[in-house]
Structure 1
Amino acid sequence: MLNVLLENEFGRIELYELADGLQAFQFFHQKGQGSISLYGGQVLSWQPEGQQPVFWLSDTSHYSTGKAIRAGVPLCWPWFGGEVKLPNGALSKVSNHGFARQSEWKVDDIEISASTVEVTLSLTGKDCSPYWPAAFELKQTLIFNESFQQTLIMTNLSEQTVEYTGALHSYFCVGNPQKTDIPMLNDVLYDDKINGCNDQKSTLKHCMGPIDRIYHNNDNMFIVDHEWQRKIEVISQGCQDWVLWNPGKGAEDMLDVHAQGEHEFVCLEAANTNWQQITSQSSVSIGQTIKLHAL
């Protein structure tokens, strides 16, 4: 059942249930449409007016507490990958990508203007994980118009310095990863998570997997989609790395990737994969801006 949260002459926002009591809302605006899940504080979709969808959403994604949603822009925080740093400096194996993407976020504000839909979400907690017990507040601002802007502000409310890794795990819709390239990643040093080799350098001919790489570079990127004749510009803020991922045939073992789904997306993630400090009672932020250009 739909519940209209906000409506004016420029657009409307509707609250709906994803499944199992998990809520999301969708917006319809003269500049485009999209959807956001409160579970995970996660952008699920965005399609500017007159354009193909920008973010990919799996038809078989899980919508249940304790499961990550395979769609849009999952938030990997307060750790990326499957390791955390313990107080003694040792690393410990944990479940992938932290707890923010499996937490219930709160809506702080929604605004609809002639040009923009702006949403502010927050997540506050303490002792959310034995591996990361610090008190914290996350504030996420999402701005949709012809472009998309996402900012995640992280505040350390504890009395000690904490460390985090994280990523904006964007699933970008493309016409065909085999006909998609990212020229600015050519000749950039990367760590290959598949073969375990670090500080590699090669020409990226296409984005069809299996690919799982961490590129040590924070330049602006262009995803060149030759099938759909467009470029997706991705500008990161406060991030040191780019993560490139497509599972290729490995998607056959992923129940939350629909059949042939790996042929529809490429993940390019603005990330900090090395540990970053947040001193007591202070804030840091990461973000990204996404723009579309015709080829």
Structure 2
Amino acid sequence: MLEILLENEFGRIELYQLATGVQALRFVHQKGQGSVSLYGGQVLSWQPNGQQPVFWLSDTSHYSVGKAIRGGVPLCWPWFGGEVKLPNGELSKVSNHGFARQSQWKIADLSMSDTTVEITLSLFGQAFSSYWPAACELSQTLVFGESFQQTLTMKNLSDQTVEYTGALHSYFCVGNSQETEIPALNDALYDDKLSGYNKQKSTLENCMGPIDRIYQSSDKMVIVDHKWQREIEVQSHGCQQWVLWNPGKGGQNMVDLHAEGENEFVCLEAANTDWQEIASQSSVSISQTIKLHVKR
């Protein structure tokens, strides 16, 4: 099934069947191309004209209801990792990263100008999970052009204050993770989820794993990709941390990560890993802006 949703002199946006029960949008525009899955409300790809892809997507990713998609920009919400805070304040072990990335989102708006493609998706309801039963409305605005902007707005429709953790779990495509560095992280304290040691500081030689760190920083980051001679600038807003992840050779045990895929990406995630409050009938937003700088 293929349906053209919007077409003008600048490009075209199509709705297509990615897999059984999984629909997606793709666009071709004079500034580039990209795709977004309605399942998970997840950016899958973005490639400005004349550039290498910005986001990485596994060749063996699952595209089925109940499974997370490996790559692109998954949404971790309303909890990051495998813990959720119950109404009584206690923490409970749960499956990783919340329900937003395994929910069916709806198209709220589409527009296309000479410089950008803008896609707005929404997720509305309550009791998505027994661990987080509050009524909520999520709105995600994606703006693709020479740069990329992603804004996730979370509205608490319940009568009580709720808490969330979350992340924009970006898989950035690089020439080789062993030839990639992020200099600004060298000056930030981090918690090492692999060793269990917190408040560490060390020089990051490259982005090959196994790496799983939470950096206490909201500074602008620049991913320096030496092989492809480009820099990916990432600026977050409303986020207090950066999460850095790459499985290294452990990726060989992940069925939804194709062979040697760990060499092709680094996850740098704008995140709030500490619990954040959303007052009743109030909204908060987190966002990221991504720009490319290519060395000529």
TM value normalised by structure 1: 0.99
Q: Which runs of 4+ in 1 moved over 4 A?
A: none
- Distance in 1 between residues matched to 2:203 and 2:90, nearest whole Å: 35
- How many angstroms does 1:187 deviate by? 2.5
Q: Alignment partner of 1:166: what SS?
A: strand
Is residue 219 from structure 1 mapped to residue 219 from structure 2 by the alignment?
yes
Asked if structure 1 preserves the Cα contact closer than 8 Å seen for 2:54 and 2:173, the reply is yes
Question: Which position in structure 1 is the counterpart of 2:126?
Answer: 126
- How many angstroms does 1:55 deviate by? 0.2
Question: Which position in structure 1 is the counterpart of 2:200?
Answer: 200
| Structure 1 residues 121-156: Cα deviation after superposition (integer angstroms, max 9, x where no partner) | 000010111110000000000000000000000000
Question: Which position in structure 1 is the counterpart of 2:170?
Answer: 170
- Equivalences for residues 114-263 of structure 1 within 5 A: 114-263=114-263
Q: Which runs of 5+ in 1 are unaligned?
A: none
Which residue identity is paired with 2:140? Q
- Distance in 2 between residues matched to 1:34 and 1:135, nearest whole Å: 31
- Distance in 1 between residues matched to 2:137 and 2:250, nearest whole Å: 36
Question: Which position in structure 2 is the counterpart of 1:106?
Answer: 106
Is residue 57 from structure 1 mapped to residue 57 from structure 2 by the alignment?
yes
- Distance in 2 between residues matched to 1:170 and 1:47, nearest whole Å: 14
- How many angstroms does 1:59 deviate by? 0.5
- Distance in 2 between residues matched to 1:50 and 1:2, nearest whole Å: 26
Q: Alignment partner of 1:227: what SS?
A: coil
Which residue identity is paired with 1:181? E
- Distance in 1 between residues matched to 2:218 and 2:285, nearest whole Å: 15
Q: How many residues are aligned here?
A: 295
Question: Which position in structure 2 is the counterpart of 1:277?
Answer: 277
Is residue 33 from structure 1 mapped to residue 33 from structure 2 by the alignment?
yes
| Structure 1 residues 237-274: Cα deviation after superposition (integer angstroms, max 9, x where no partner) | 10000000000011011100011111100000000000
Identity of aligned residues (%): 77
Which residue identity is paired with 1:222? V
TM value normalised by structure 2: 0.99
Q: Alignment partner of 2:187: what SS?
A: coil
Is residue 290 from structure 1 mapped to residue 290 from structure 2 by the alignment?
yes
Please tell me the root mean square deviation across aligned C-alpha atoms, in Å.
Answer: 0.6
- Distance in 2 between residues matched to 1:258 and 1:142, nearest whole Å: 27
- Distance in 1 between residues matched to 2:115 and 2:127, nearest whole Å: 40
Which residue identity is paired with 2:50? G
| Structure 1 residues 191-243: Cα deviation after superposition (integer angstroms, max 9, x where no partner) | 00001111011000100000000000000000000000000000001000000
